[in-house]
Amino acid sequence: MRQSVTPELRQWIIEQAQAGFAPEAVVEAMKASGWDETVAIEALETTLRDHLQGLSSGQSVQPLPGGGSPVPDVRLEGSPREVDLGDRVVQILVSLRQPRLVVLGNLLAQDECDQLIELARPRMARSMTVQTRTGGQETNPDRTSNGMFFNRGEHPLVAAIESRIARLVGWPASHGEGIQVLNYREGAEYKPHYDYFDPAEPGTPTILKRGGQRVATLVMYLNDPAQGGGTTFPDIGLEVAPQKGNAVFFSYDRPHPSTRTLHGGAPVLAGEKWVATKWLRQREFN
Ligand SMILES: O=C(O)CCC(=O)C(=O)O
Ligand SMILES: [Fe+2]
C-alpha cells in the first residue's frame, strides 16, 4: 500500500526537527507507527528540504514538484573513467550520491599547483571564516591554517583554473567565489564544518544578498603532505587523501545537515599541506 504524506505529517516532521530530534530518531518514530523505512526517509528529506527552501526564499512553505534545486555537478552519465575538459583530461576516481561527492584525479598539473602556491605565498595570513552571527569575518580557533583569496580572474592561471572548473561542474565562473588558498603547518587542522551559511544565524541574510547560498565546494590539493591532512567526511566515514593535483568536489542542494556534507581538514601529522578551495554560489557573485 502506498503511504501518503499528509500536510499533518509534514507539520509533525518539521516540529520534530525544530525540537532538535535527529533525523534517525524521527525515522525510528515513524517506523514504530507503521511507516516503511524508505518512505519515511524520503518524506523526511523532501519535507525538510521544502521547508528550508521556503525559509530561505522568504515564501510560505510549499512543497516543490520535481525535487531539489539545481546545483553544480560533474556529468557522470555512462560512468566515464575520465572527462575531457578541453585543456585537460581529468580522472573520475570515486563518486557518491549521498552526499553528492566526486574525487577527481589530475585536475591541476603539478606545475599549476606549484605556481598557485608561489602566487599565494606572499599574501598568506591567519585564516578568517565568514562570521554568520554578524556577516563579518573573524579568526576561528577551529581553523588553524593560514589563507588568502585570489580575486576571480586576477591572474591568467587563476582564470584558466576557474574556467576549467566551470566546465567540470557545469556552473558559470561568475557564480564562484575567488579561489582560496590555505596552508596548514604540522599540527594544523580545520575541524568538521559545513560550508553553507547557517540559515539560523542572524548574519546570514546579509551574506546571502551577494550571490545567494553556497551550493558546492571543490577542494584542490596543491602538494603532498608527508603525513595526515586528509579531507574527512564524518557522516559517511570517508577520508580523501590529499594528493597533489587531485581534488574533491561535493554539492549541497539545501543548507541542511541532511546533505551529509559535514567535512574537515584532518590534522597534518608531518610536513605541511596546501589546498585551494573554490566555493560555488546559487547566483552571480560580484
Ligand atoms: O583542507 C581541507 O581538506 C578542507 C578545506 C575546507 O573544508 C574548506 O576550505 O572549507
Ligand atoms: Fe569546508
Look at residue 54 in the predicted model and tell me its pLDDT.
Answer: 52
Look at residue 62 in the predicted model and tell me its pLDDT.
Answer: 34
Residue 239, amino acid: E
Look at residue 23 in the predicted model and tell me its pLDDT.
Answer: 79
Distance 84 CA to ligand 1 centre (A): 26
Distance 229 CA to ligand 2 centre (A): 13
Look at residue 52 in the predicted model and tell me its pLDDT.
Answer: 65
Distance 10 CA to ligand 1 centre (A): 35
Look at residue 128 in the predicted model and tell me its pLDDT.
Answer: 67
Distance 84 CA to ligand 2 centre (A): 27
H helices present in 151-246, as ranges: 156-169, 204-208
- Is the peptide bond prior to 72 cis by the omega test (within 30 degrees of 0)? no
Could you give phi then psi for residue 36, rounded to 5 degrees? Answer: -70, 140
Residue nearest to atom 10 of ligand 1 (CA): 195
CA distance 9 to 3: 11
Three-state secondary-structure class, residue 188: coil
- Ligand located closest to 238 CA: 1
- Tell me the DSSP string of 224-275: --SEE-PEEETTTTEEE---TT-EEEEE-SSSSGGG---EEEPPEEES-EEE
Q: Which residues contact 122 (CB under 8 A, 6 or more apart)?
A: none
Residue nearest to atom 4 of ligand 1 (CA): 265
- Ligand located closest to 219 CA: 1
Q: Which atom of ligand 1 is nearest to the CA of 266?
A: 3
Q: b/e for 122-150, b at 16 or more Cβ within 10 A?
A: eebeebeebebeebeeeebeebbbbbbeb
- Which of 150, 185, 219, 221 to probe ligand 1 with, by most ligand atoms within 8 A of CB? 219
Look at residue 44 in the predicted model and tell me its pLDDT.
Answer: 82
- Tell me the DSSP string of 18-78: HTT--HHHHHHHHHHTT--HHHHHHHHHHHHHHHHHHHHTTS---PPTTSSPP------TT
Three-state secondary-structure class, residue 162: helix
CA distance 233 to 163: 27
Residue nearest to atom 9 of ligand 1 (CA): 277
Distance 142 CA to ligand 2 centre (A): 11
Q: Is the pTM of this model over 0.90?
A: no
Q: Residue 83 forms beta bridges with which residues?
A: 90
Distance 201 CA to ligand 1 centre (A): 21
pLDDT averaged per 10 residues, the chain (length 286): 68 73 79 79 75 51 47 96 98 97 98 98 80 70 86 98 98 98 96 97 96 98 98 98 98 96 98 98 97
Output the nine-digit C-alpha cell for 263: 567535512
Cα-atom radius of gyration of the chain, to the nearest Å?
20
Pocket around ligand 1 at a 6 A CB cut-off: 182, 190, 195, 219, 231, 263, 265, 275, 277
Sheet holding 125-126, edge to edge: 82-84, 89-96, 100-105, 247-251, 214-221, 273-281, 180-184, 146-149, 125-126
Output the nine-digit C-alpha cell for 148: 588568502
